[in-house]
Amino acid sequence: MLTRRGVLTGVLAAVLAPQAALAAPKKKIFVVNPEFRPQYVSFDSSYAPGTVVIDPRGRFLYLVEDGFTARRYGVGVGRAGRVFHGVAKVGRKEEWPRWIPTNGMIRRQPEKYARYAGGVAGGPHNPLGARALYLYRNGRDTHYRIHGTTEPWTIGRAVSNGCIRMVNEHVMDLYARVPVGARVVVI
């Protein structure tokens, strides 16, 4: 039931605070921690230029420029025990890749992954994000990827099922710099 007092209170509130009365709720904008933004850093190494070096514990990926410099990116990494180590090569690259959960992911968490067993088409809602670099060893797919993410707030954390995830804009930058055949070292 409308009362004169209720109507006057509502009108008075709208007049005194029109933005609050009419505004839609604001969506929180995610900002990447500056430490995890792409940047050139000192990197004393014996790796050849163009080598990708991943430090899962430090949550960084380095693209070696020369013996003293690398382009560093922040990454989210796989949970302990599911992280690939050693040397591989970029066997292929894809823009807006299709995602299919591994059999291990489905076995570990069927309630979460079984429904995606047939795969998910590439696009802005795909867990692999905007780009993927597929890592191969001895000519075979390791099922280990460097890829984008729909969850950029996870960068700098142990979050995925074993892959290296990056902010979409950052993986797009890396994708443009790294050719198929590039050496990848996970330390």
Catalytic residue among 85, 125, 143, 147: 147
| 147 is a catalytic site residue | yes
Count Cβ atoms below 10 Å from residue 86 Cβ, excluding itself: 12
| 170 is a catalytic site residue | no
C-alpha count within 13 angstroms, C-beta hemisphere, residue 51: 19
Catalytic residue among 85, 125, 143, 163: 163
Contacts of 41-45 spanning 24+ positions with Cβ under 8 A: 41/69, 41/70, 41/71, 41/72, 42/68, 42/69, 43/68, 43/69, 43/70, 43/72, 44/68, 45/70
> Pairing mode, if any, of strands 77-78 and 39-42?
unpaired
Catalytic residues: 147, 163
